[in-house]
């Protein structure tokens, strides 16, 4: 009965040739069966098995491969040579980054939209890696074996099981398309196999399984390199759409520090939440240093675990996590390392981990740790953010949620009297009561539509339309004003004739209406900064006055934004004194939008009006 | 033999010191071998079990049992396909807390999450300790709320494997048809979508509660 279930007739489109082959050789090919350890249970006669070893057809994470069909030596031989991406794949990253730098959107993308663009690229890259590896192995470059038609065909069809193996670890959403990267290949293999299924010898099967394993490992490695190279490149080229004539050159030390905050600057909720959390952590740290609170007691850490001996080690790894790592992949590795260091014994439960994590966060005060955690959640390839990685990240997020929710009521009454005014203010309420993160809004929408999400979800962002609705939870006025500025900018933009060399207006508008980012057409569709896009375009068109106004407006909107294309106005706009405008313009240089008063905003609006005249 | 592996996220809930981690450590104790997949102490563990010719991989997420961390639990049980709500048969308070967890899971977790109610530390009774939560109470709660129910001893290992086997048998494993039709979203080929596979293999469930 089971065999019927798992091997449907060959005419059935669901027929899996690999499964069929395994079934056919079931009694003779021990190499592809599970190594099982029988569990004996006192109260149950039902036979059950736990395998202590790995499934031979299932790919595992690179760092914990223990395939029975591959020796460590073989794995090392195959993977040690892989230190960089092949040029074909590397080219994809170049195209993606170039595309990111293209001005395409009328408004800057929020971090959630940006994340979606990245996730789509990862899927595309995963597919390309699979194709590359399949091609290489079918040419006999990997195992040196015969590259006969059968071998080639089998390699292709082996993609089916290989993909199952690889997608085993999948999790998270793919909004755009099915996540499984090689679905096209698997379908091909099914249809091809229906026409000709030749019996393979056990040796051949084994060889194919080995190729699958190695290919999967290579793809895993390529994906790691992909993340690394994408963000390294972003570090070099910056996160702004810059003028083509001006490439910002960074000093060596700048190339080592990637500010994740740059990716979040168009999502004020995240930056605001992060700022408040930084303040709160610092405040708690100060209280702890001044012995106003006893963290060890507060967190019940006194049950045999002394956090002090590992303090320096943890500090290093937390700094590595927040400051010295670039890609999400590196950051998650640092986070796993952090958990590893915190492991005092294999029996430690999560009570201990969570308490320790909170303790170290408060005492070490790693800056922007929230943004770093969100950076991983949003920019790590979803398919890989599973198991230990997912758990470690959830733990960190839980620790941060705990900290943000701490108020003075959580501490003793004595502390309340000792608090300074600003400390009392910081510990007055939870941060989540002041700032709602957009992801939660998205989550609520999603919950309404399906039952898959729950409270506390940070869901894969969905781009419904280019201007994702902002949460208006914490600063209604600002959001309204912000939106109105954006509308103004949008209107200016709509009067701008599209430049023939830029991405076609039609494409853009199609895209905005599509609710989708069509990756095959373009590896991404992003404008990191409206400001420079407009400026550059308008300079080309000679519409300088409009350019300046849009820039000034956008500067208001993102006051803390780093402007790379530092273009200046060279003509007067309809009789308005250029110098006067520039002078009043500069008055707000370096100011943050959230710090502006209503009077100042009015002033700015007047400047804007003058420029428009 | 079907060699596909279904991953199941299983979350542990229960008051502090009821033996959540001990149950899991007992469950995976046979495999503390060299080739073990990476774990995070007893906070995150994996274990594979072959049930009815199908391999199920449990990804076991521990939650902090301290009351102060209770509000963080949703972050851990989101997208979980199964939950173990553990209480100590010698601590009535832990049973009350277990009730709360069951209620919360039904309200906030995945719609068809499989919940096993586990009364732990029955070895204490054999050593002369006093039972404070009657077996019937646990059974009644399980019946009312549609839970699996087991009494276990993490110390002796009694009934521990049955808990996981019971859950594994109740999980609607994806059939090939469903796999081919799997669309985007949380579910994918090797992860169980409880909402999509409601009619899976419920007939297989043979819990001995």
Same structural domain for residues A227 and A269?
no
Strands B114-120, B148-151: pairing kind: parallel
Check: CB of residue B171 under 8 Å from CB of residue B8: yes
Residues A178-232 pLDDT 10s: 333 333 344 344 444 455 556 778 888 888 888 888 888 889 999 999 999 999 8
- Structural domain contains residue A598: no
Smallest Cα distance from B76 to chain A, Å: 7
Closest residue in B to A61 (Cα) is B37
pLDDT value, residue A100: 84
Task: Identify which has the larger pLDDT, B146 or A183.
Answer: B146
Q: Which of residues 252-311 of A touch B (CB under 8 A)?
A: 300
Contact criterion met (CB < 8 Å) for A44 and B208 = yes
Nearest-CB residue to B191 (from A16, A37, A171): A171
Cβ <8 Å between A55 and B76: no
Write out pLDDT tens, residues A241-252.
554 444 445 555
Residue A95 covered by a domain: yes
- pLDDT at position B135, please? 96
The pair of structure tokens assigned to A186 is 């698997």
* Rounded Cα–Cα distance for residues A525 and B6 (Å): 36
What does the H/E/C string look like for A544-593? HHHHHHHHHHHHHHCCCCCCCCCCCCCCCECCECHHHHHHHHHCCCCCCH
- As given in the structure block, the two tokens for residue B80 are 């979980």
Per CB-CB distance under 8 Å, the chain B contacts of A387 are 37-38, 44, 46, 59
Q: Do A235 and A268 sit in the same domain of this protein? A: no
Could you tell me where the DSSP H helices lie in chain B?
Answer: 20-28, 73-77, 92-108, 123-126, 135-145, 160-170, 176-180
Identify the residue whose tokens are 């006192």: A42
Task: Please check whether residues A320 and A397 belong to one and the same domain.
Answer: yes
Q: Does residue A303 share a domain with residue A215?
A: no
Out of B4, B48, B206, the one facing A164 most closely (by C-beta) is B4
Give the angle subtended at the CA of A518 by the CAs of A514 and A524, to the nearest 5°: 120
> Do A214 and A283 sit in the same domain of this protein?
no
* Backbone φ/ψ region at A75: left (φ over 0), alpha (ψ -120 to 50), beta: alpha
Among positive and negative, which fits the CA dihedral A438, A439, A440, A445?
A: positive
In angstroms, the CA A553 to CA A534 distance is 11
Structure confidence by residue, pLDDT tens digits, A256-315: 678 888 888 888 899 999 999 999 999 999 999 998 888 988 988 866 788 888 999 999
CA A191/CA A157 separation, integer angstroms: 10
**In a shared domain, residues A221 and A306:** no
- The answer to whether residue A280 is domain-embedded is yes
CB-based contacts of A534: which residues, under 8 Å, 6+ apart?
A: A103, A489, A492, A493, A496, A546, A547, A550, A551, A554
CB < 8 Å from B in window 116-135 of A: none
β-sheet bridge partners, residue B106: none
- Whether residues A170 and B190 touch (CB distance < 8 A) is answered with yes
Q: Are residues A219 and A264 in the same domain?
A: no
- Among chain B residues, the shortest Cα distance to A171 is held by B186
Q: How many CA atoms lie within 13 A of B119 on its CB side?
A: 27
pLDDT in tens, B29-52: 754 444 467 789 899 999 998 887
| Block residue for tokens 């408040």 | A276
**Domain B5-170 homologous superfamily, CATH:** P-loop containing nucleotide triphosphate hydrolases (3.40.50.300)
Q: Does A469 touch chain B (CB under 8 A)?
A: no
Range of the domain at A303: 260-438
Q: Do A207 and A302 share a structural domain?
A: no
Interface probe, candidates A38, A49, A349, chain B, greatest B C-beta count within 10 A: A349
Please report the pLDDT score of residue A23 as a whole number.
53
Contact at CB, B161 and A170, closer than 8 angstroms? no
A498 inside domain: no
Q: Is the pLDDT of residue B137 over 90?
A: yes
**pLDDT for residue A332:** 96
Q: Residue A480, CB half-sphere, CA atoms under 13 Å: how many?
A: 4
Distance of CA B160 to the CA centre of its chain: 11
CATH number at residue A387: 1.20.1050.80
Given a contact cutoff of 8 angstroms between Cβ atoms, the answer to whether B163 and B84 are in contact is yes
Is the same domain home to A218 and A289? Answer: no
As a whole number of angstroms, the distance between CA B9 and CA A165 comes to 18
Within-domain flag for A348: yes
Q: How far apart are CA A345 and CA A613, in angstroms?
A: 71
Cβ of B185 within 8 Å of Cβ of A54? The answer is: no
Q: What is the pTM of this model?
A: 0.65
Return d(Cα A350, Cα B25) in angstroms, integer.
Answer: 13
Q: Do B162 and A172 touch (CB under 8 A)?
A: no
Final residue of a structural domain among A376, A405, A438: A438
**Domain positions in chain B:** 5-170
Cβ–Cβ gap B43/A346 under 8 Å: no
Instruction: Quote the number of domains for chain A.
Output: 2
| Residue A557 CB partners (closer than 8 Å, separation 6+) | A482, A485, A486, A489, A593
A78 belongs to a structural domain: yes
**CA separation for the pair B105, B11 (Å, rounded):** 11
Nearest to B115 by CA among B209, B28, B7, B5: B209
How far, in Å, CA of A413 to CA of A400, rounded? 24
Vertex A148: Cα angle to A142 and A150 (nearest 5)? 105
C-alpha count within 13 angstroms, C-beta hemisphere, residue A508 = 17
Among residues A297, A364, A366, the alpha carbon closest in space to that of B68 is found at A297
131-170 in A: which are within 8 Å (CB) of B? 164, 167-170
Residues A323 and A363 in one domain: yes
Looking at A391, A409, A438, the residue that finishes a domain is A438
Task: Measure CB to CB from residue B184 to each of A42, A177, A343 and give the nearest one.
Answer: A177
Domain boundary among A438, A454, A484: A438
Do A265 and A401 belong to one domain?
yes
- B residues 127-146 closer than 8 Å to A (CB): none
Rounded (5°) CA angle A520-A240-A255: 105
B51: which strand partners? Answer: B54
Ranges of chain A with pLDDT below 50: 1-7, 25-67, 141-193, 243-248, 440-441, 443-576
Global ipTM: 0.85
d(CA A150, CA A36) in angstroms, rounded, equals: 32
Is A360 contained in some domain?
A: yes
User: How many Å is the Cα radius of gyration of chain A?
Assistant: 28
How large a percentage of chain B has pLDDT more than 90? 63
In whole angstroms, how far apart are CA B148 and each of A463, B57, B82, B116, B167? 40, 19, 11, 4, 8
Return the pLDDT at B160. 94
pLDDT, residue A350, reads 92
**B59 interfacial to chain A (CB closer than 8 Å):** yes
CA A416 to CA A411: how far, in whole Å? 8
B125 touches chain A (CB under 8 A): no
């Amino acid at each position: 009965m089971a065999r019927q279930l798992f091997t449907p007739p060959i005419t059935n489109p669901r027929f899996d040739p690999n499964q069929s082959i395994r079934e056919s050789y079931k009694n003779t090919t021990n190499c592809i069966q599970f190594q099982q350890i029988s569990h004996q249970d006192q109260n149950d006669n039902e036979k059950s098995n736990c395998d202590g070893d790995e499934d031979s057809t299932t790919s595992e994470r690179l760092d914990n491969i223990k395939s029975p069909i591959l020796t460590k030596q073989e794995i090392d031989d195959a993977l040690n040579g892989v230190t960089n991406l092949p040029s074909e794949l590397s080219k994809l990253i170049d195209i993606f980054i170039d595309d990111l730098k293209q001005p395409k959107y009328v408004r800057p993308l929020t971090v959630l939209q940006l994340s979606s663009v990245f996730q789509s690229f990862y899927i595309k890259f995963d597919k390309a890696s699979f194709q590359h590896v399949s091609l290489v192995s079918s040419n006999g470059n990997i195992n040196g074996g015969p590259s006969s038609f059968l071998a080639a065909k089998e390699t292709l069809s082996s993609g089916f099981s290989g993909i199952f193996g690889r997608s085993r670890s999948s999790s998270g959403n793919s909004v755009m398309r099915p996540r499984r990267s090689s679905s096209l290949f698997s379908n091909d293999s099914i249809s091809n196999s229906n026409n000709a299924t030749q019996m393979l010898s056990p040796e051949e099967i084994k060889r194919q399984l080995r190729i699958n394993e190695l290919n999967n490992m290579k793809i895993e490695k390529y994906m790691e390199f992909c993340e690394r190279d994408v963000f390294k490149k972003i570090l070099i080229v910056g996160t702004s759409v810059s003028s083509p004539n001006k490439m910002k050159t960074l000093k060596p030390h700048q190339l080592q520090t990637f500010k994740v905050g740059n990716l979040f600057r168009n999502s004020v909720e995240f930056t605001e939440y992060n700022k408040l959390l930084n303040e709160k952590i610092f405040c708690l740290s100060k209280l702890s240093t001044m012995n106003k609170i006893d963290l060890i007691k507060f967190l019940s850490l006194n049950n045999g675990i002394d956090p002090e001996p590992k303090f320096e080690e943890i500090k290093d790894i937390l700094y590595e996590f927040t400051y010295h790592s670039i890609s999400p992949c590196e950051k998650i590795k640092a986070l796993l390392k952090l958990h590893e260091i915190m492991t005092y014994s294999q029996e430690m439960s999560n009570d201990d981990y969570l308490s320790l994590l909170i303790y170290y966060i408060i005492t070490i005060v790693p800056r922007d740790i929230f943004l770093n955690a969100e950076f991983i959640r949003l920019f790590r390839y979803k398919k890989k953010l599973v198991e230990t990685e997912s758990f470690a990240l959830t733990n960190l997020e839980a620790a941060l949620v705990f900290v943000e929710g701490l108020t003075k009521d959580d501490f003793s009454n004595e502390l309340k009297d000792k608090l300074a005014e600003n400390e009392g203010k910081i510990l007055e309420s939870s941060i989540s009561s002041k700032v709602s993160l957009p992801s939660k809004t998205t989550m609520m929408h999603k919950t309404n539509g399906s039952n898959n999400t729950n409270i506390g979800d940070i869901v894969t962002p969905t781009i419904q339309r280019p201007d994702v609705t902002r949460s208006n939870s914490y600063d209604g006025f600002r959001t309204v004003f912000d939106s109105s500025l954006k509308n103004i900018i949008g209107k200016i933009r709509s009067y701008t004739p599209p430049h023939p060399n830029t991405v076609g207006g039609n494409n853009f508008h199609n895209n905005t209406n599509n609710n989708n980012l069509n990756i095959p057409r373009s590896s991404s569709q992003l404008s990191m900064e409206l400001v420079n896009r407009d400026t550059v375009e308008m300079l080309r068109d000679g519409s300088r006055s409009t350019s300046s106004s849009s820039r000034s407006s956008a500067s208001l909107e993102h006051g803390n934004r780093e402007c790379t294309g530092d273009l200046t106005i060279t003509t007067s706009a309809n009789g308005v004194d250029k110098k006067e405008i520039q002078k009043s313009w500069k008055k707000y240089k370096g100011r943050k939008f959230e710090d502006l008063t209503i009077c100042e905003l009015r002033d700015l609006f007047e400047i804007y009006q003058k420029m428009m005249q | 033999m079907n060699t596909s592996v279904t991953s199941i996220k299983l979350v542990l809930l229960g008051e502090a010191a009821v033996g959540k981690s001990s149950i899991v450590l007992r469950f995976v104790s046979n495999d503390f071998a060299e080739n073990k997949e990476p774990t995070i102490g007893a906070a995150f563990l994996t274990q594979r079990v072959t049930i009815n010719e199908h391999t199920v991989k449990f990804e076991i997420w521990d939650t902090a049992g301290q009351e102060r961390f209770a509000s963080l639990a949703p972050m851990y049980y989101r997208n979980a396909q199964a939950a173990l709500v553990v209480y100590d048969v010698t601590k009535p308070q832990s049973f009350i807390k277990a009730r709360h967890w069951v209620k919360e899971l039904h309200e906030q977790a995945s719609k068809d999450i499989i919940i096993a109610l586990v009364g732990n530390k029955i070895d204490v009774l054999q050593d002369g300790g006093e039972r404070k939560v009657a077996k019937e109470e646990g059974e009644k709660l399980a019946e009312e709320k549609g839970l699996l129910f087991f009494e276990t001893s993490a110390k002796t290992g009694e009934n521990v494997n049955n808990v996981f086997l019971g859950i594994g048998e109740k999980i609607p494993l994806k059939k090939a048809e469903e796999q081919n039709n799997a669309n985007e979203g949380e579910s994918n080929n090797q992860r169980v979508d409880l909402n999509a596979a409601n009619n899976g293999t419920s007939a297989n469930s043979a819990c001995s509660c």
